[in-house]
Each structure stands twice: as C-alpha cells, then as structure tokens.
Amino acid sequence: MSAARYVGRFAPSPSGALHAGSLLAALASWLDARAHGGRWLVRIEDVDQARSVPGADVRILQQLSDCGLRPDETPVWQSRRSALYQRALDELLSRGLAYPCACSRQEIASASAAQVRTPHSERVYPGTCRGGLQGRAARAWRCNTARAGVLHWTDRRLEQQQQDVASAVGDFVLLRADGYFAYQLAVVVDDAAQGVTDVVRGADLADNTARQIWLQAALGLPALRYLHTPLVLDPQGSKLSKQNGAPALRTDTPERAQQALQHASSALGLDAAGTRDNIADQLNRWVLQWRARYALP
C-alpha cells in the first residue's frame, strides 16, 4: 500500500468533551493525513448510547474547529449505521465465523477463574458456546477465533507486533447482550465503508489491532496501516482519560486553543517553539516535522 491514496480519521466517543489526551490523538491523526496529502475524517463513535453524553458530540466538533482541525467530509455518527454492522455480523454467522452466546458475565468469570493473567491482560472467553447453546437463550454474539493463529503486523511507531488472538483474547463479542454492537465490529466496518487507509490513535488502543486485523480478513476488507502515539499521563502515571476525571479542554479563545495544541505537540515530540505564530502557521510547521519523522514510502 503506497501513500498515493491516504484517508485518515479521528473517532472520538461522545462520553464527554475533548481532554488533553484525546486532542493529542486528534492532532496526530490530522498531521499524518496532512503530511501525506490525504483526507482526514471525523467519526463520532456513539454506538454505545448508554455512555453518550447529550451535546458532547457538538462540543467535540467545536473544539476541533477551534484548534484548526476540520474534517474534509461531513462527520458520521455510528448510532445511525447499525444496518451496516448487522450485515457484517450476518456474513460472519453465515460463514461459521460467529455464533450466539448464552453465557452471563458471572459464568464467564467462573469458567476463566483459573486463567493466569497479567495485571493488564483480558479475561479470555473459554469458548463455552462454540458448540451450541444447549437450549439456552442467546445473550450476545461472538466471533469464532479458533483458527485465527498468530497475527503479525508492523506499527509505524511501535514496529513489529504480534498476537495470538485465540489465546490472548478469545472469542470476543460482536453484538452485546444490551443490544449494542461492539466497538471492534463497528470500527472495522466503518473504516472500510469510509475508505480509511491509516489509523493513528493512542497506544492504549494498540492491543485492539489484532482483533481488527482478524475481522478485516474475515470480512474480506482491506488491511490498514497503524500508528499508535504516546499517551498523555496524569501525575500518578496513569493514562489521562474521561474515566479518571481528565478535565475538558478550554478552546473557546485562540489563545486557549493554541495552548492546548502546544501541549499536545510537545507530548508528540514536536517543536512547540514559535508561540507567536497563529494556529494555522503552527500546524503547518508541525506537518513538516511529522512528515520528516513518519513519511510513508
């Protein structure tokens, strides 16, 4: 895959306004698209309506605009695209690559209690319902990773990566018990539907890559390039996130927007000098720096 056709995207969850960590991801994805003469899209990942905060999507789009990060196409909302996800799930089911699951969280926890886990590893689903529901009602739908094998890929910053999806993750959920489509399926379907070629996002999402590569192959969709950026950490060394109380960014004046961008660029290792420049000039300078560091062949 060459850089001749490049489509990138930023896909925030509207569970709150942008904070320093999410702006870093937005800036990095925008810079990568501009550095390669590509298009940059914004997708509101609100497939989980229970976590969506009313008005957060509008505020996020305004914050991005305040910072000079404007998408090249009208943003899309995942909550309006369920038919696409259902078609993908139906295809996987028809090919034996997905199946209904009747297990509750408590049952899964009990069945996998003996697993050896690191502090950050996931609880691996043991495949209880692969052979059928045994007369029980379906609660969720899972993919069948029994023959996934070890997946290998190259991250543009983290370099060579690999994961055995079956042993590291197991048969992950595609349609949840609460009726919402899972992130893994939705993101893969949307990236393909929007023609995305490159995903630039925070390193906390790097572990999702193998699952998404597997789904792309299972659905016959194009492979993507990945670049996972450093994270913004709080004083305790934890990832800055909405869940741990990261404050919303103030971007309502050019000075505040510029300051937020400078903090993000510094975390990305870019030169934040020239603070008297306006936002557009700063962004243009960072595009050149980004291209020098991450230029595609």
Instruction: Provide the CA 47 distance to its chain's centre, in angstroms.
Output: 13
Six-digit token string for 77:
């909302």
Q: Which residues contact 205 (CB under 8 A, 6 or more apart)?
A: 228
| Residue-level length of the chain | 297
The closest alpha carbon to 226, from 173, 263, 187, 260, belongs to 187
Angle at 193 between CA 191 and CA 199, to 5 degrees: 15
d(CA 92, CA 89): 5
Q: Among 34, 43, 139, 242, which one carries the catalytic annotation?
A: 242
CA 254 from chain centre, in angstroms, equals 28
Phi, psi of 229 (to 5 degrees): -85, 165
242 counts as catalytic: yes
DSSP class of 136:
P
Residues with active-site annotation: 242
